[in-house]
């Protein structure tokens, strides 16, 4: 029996999008001096708003405001009082969660279920968690008198706009730093709504500054001489460029970059449970996830059975209006990203891999890509080596655990991995040998603010979340 779902669209009435949006500097919204740009709804290609573009003067103003707030207010405030502000922000995120979720879906293209049930709750949880650490830093293991670094420049991507903001801002504020954050050009709206939340929380002016713009704005922020630390999440190429830009300076750096995660399924794994984990691993958020399980490694004896079960499951996925609560696959964030996905999937076919997608209706407007599975993939294929950042899964096989380890580690990346087996000893042995910062066992894409996240090799360095993530924003030395 096939169930038909009637449309269940989320109302947009709760969101009031300004036709033009300014920068947030020193506690106030102020016009930018660059040429403004437009942000669109990727599901319809309709213009949502005009966004201010920060130039060098604006970047300098934001950093100066953050420095003044650090020197005169935030670094001198007790951890207990800082924590009160973070608790206040966390509660306001919860109170305005529906508004934030709808705006995130409009601006990003992800399904409303994911914005509502994943992104916004975890963003609030990060502020709650770090609020609790604000007055306990001497017990975090970073010395008897850990000190903040100063002004932090943070540049975040478009795949999880508000969640990445929370990952960055919450630990920075809890540890006594001030922030200048640049959201992605295509997804600035929830960051600007967060600026309103900072005002609503009566956060002291200059503690959080949000400047919008393209890559050049981010470059000027990263290179500013009065920045003490840079935190970046995004592509490996940009991360490498940032590392070169700040080499030889006093600036601290954490990078969370791309990935090509292996999701390893052994012959004793429960197939139905594993299939759900495979789907969640690669098709969650349209595959716009740096730790997506984009390489599926199946033990040969169960490969055919697992692929058949996976195809049956993918037929049930619903692609369409991201604001519909029944939607599983939303819109691709931009035309540029869609073109990259198309290019890489074409290379898979050209190199001999077998392509399969379920039948689904692609809307005429917007940026869309059907969930896609490639079989007959070898390690030499581009689709097995390069990060696609879309709803595309490459299936490889293995015979022994050693072969699975060799194939899993045969990548320039090292962000995450998944292991599916009933044997606890095998989970521990495999996790010890897979070169990945995060290894999930019999699950995938599970995030918690108490658990550190980060990678190895071209997936970057440093950790975000947990007590380990606090260290990126602290020093045992006196800072000037």
- Contact (CB, 8 A) for 259 and 440: no
Q: How far is Cα 444 from Cα 92, in angstroms, rounded to an integer?
A: 29
Q: How far is CA 45 from the centre of its chain?
A: 23
Q: Is 335 helix (H, G, I), strand (E, B) or coil?
A: helix
By CB atoms closer than 10 A (0-12, 13-18, 19+), residue 167 is buried
CB atoms within 10 A of CB 143: 13
Q: Residue 155: beta bridge partners?
A: 182, 232
- Contact (CB, 8 A) for 234 and 337: no
Report the 3 state secondary structure along 411-431: CCEECEEEEECCCHHHHHHHH
- Contact (CB, 8 A) for 444 and 399: no
Catalytic residue check, 256: yes
Identified catalytic residue from 104, 185, 256, 387 = 256
Indicate the DSSP class of residue 16. Answer: -
Identified catalytic residue from 114, 290, 291, 387 = 290
Catalytic residue check, 198: no
**β-strands 354-356, 372-375 pairing:** antiparallel
Conformation bin of residue 242: beta by default, left when phi > 0, alpha when psi is -120 to 50: alpha
- So which residues are the catalytic ones? 256, 290
């Amino acid at each position: 029996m096939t169930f038909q779902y009637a449309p269940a669209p989320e109302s947009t009435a709760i969101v009031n999008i300004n036709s033009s949006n300014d920068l947030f500097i020193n506690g106030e919204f102020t016009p930018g001096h660059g040429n403004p740009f437009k942000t669109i709804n990727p599901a319809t290609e309709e213009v949502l708003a005009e966004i201010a573009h920060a130039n060098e003067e604006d970047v300098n103003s934001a950093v100066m405001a953050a420095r003044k707030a650090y020197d005169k207010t935030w670094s001198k405030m007790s951890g207990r009082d800082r924590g009160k502000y973070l608790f206040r922000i966390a509660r306001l995120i919860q109170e305005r969660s529906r508004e934030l979720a709808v705006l995130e879906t409009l601006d990003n293209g992800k399904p409303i279920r994911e914005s509502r049930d994943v992104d916004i709750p975890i963003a609030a949880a990060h502020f709650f968690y770090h609020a609790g650490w604000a007055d306990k830093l001497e017990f975090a293991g970073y010395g008897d008198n850990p000190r903040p670094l100063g002004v932090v420049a943070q540049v975040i991507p478009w795949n999880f706009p508000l969640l990445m903001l929370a990952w960055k801002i919450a630990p920075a504020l809890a540890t006594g730093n001030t922030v200048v954050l640049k959201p992605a050009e295509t997804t600035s709206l929830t960051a600007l709504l967060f600026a309103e939340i900072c005002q609503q929380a009566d956060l002291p002016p200059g503690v959080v500054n949000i400047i919008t713009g393209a890559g050049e704005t981010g470059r000027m922020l990263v290179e500013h001489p009065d920045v003490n630390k840079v935190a970046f999440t995004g592509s490996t190429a940009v991360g490498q460029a940032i590392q070169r830009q700040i080499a030889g300076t006093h600036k601290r750096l954490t990078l969370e970059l791309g990935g090509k995660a292996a999701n390893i399924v052994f012959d004793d794994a429960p197939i139905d449970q594993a299939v759900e984990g495979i789907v969640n691993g690669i098709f969650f958020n349209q595959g716009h996830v740096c730790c997506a399980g984009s390489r599926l490694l199946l033990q040969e004896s169960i490969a055919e059975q697992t692929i058949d079960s996976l195809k049956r499951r993918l037929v049930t996925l619903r692609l369409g209006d991201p604001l519909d609560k029944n939607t599983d696959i939303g819109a691709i964030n931009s035309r540029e990203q869609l073109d990259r996905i198309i290019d890489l999937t074409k290379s898979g076919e050209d190199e001999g891999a077998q392509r399969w997608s379920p039948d689904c209706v692609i809307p005429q407007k917007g940026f869309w890509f059907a969930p896609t599975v490639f079989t007959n993939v070898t390690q030499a294929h581009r689709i097995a080596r390069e990060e696609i950042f879309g709803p595309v899964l490459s299936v490889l096989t293995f015979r022994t655990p050693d072969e699975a380890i060799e194939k899993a580690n045969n990548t320039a990346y090292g962000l995450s991995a998944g292991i599916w087996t009933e044997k606890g000893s095998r989970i521990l042995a495999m996790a010890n040998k897979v070169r990945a910062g995060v290894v999930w066992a019999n699950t995938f894409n599970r995030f918690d603010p108490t658990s550190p996240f980060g990678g190895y090799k071209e997936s970057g360095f440093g950790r975000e979340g947990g007590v380990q993530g606090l260290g990126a924003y602290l020093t045992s030395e006196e800072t000037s």
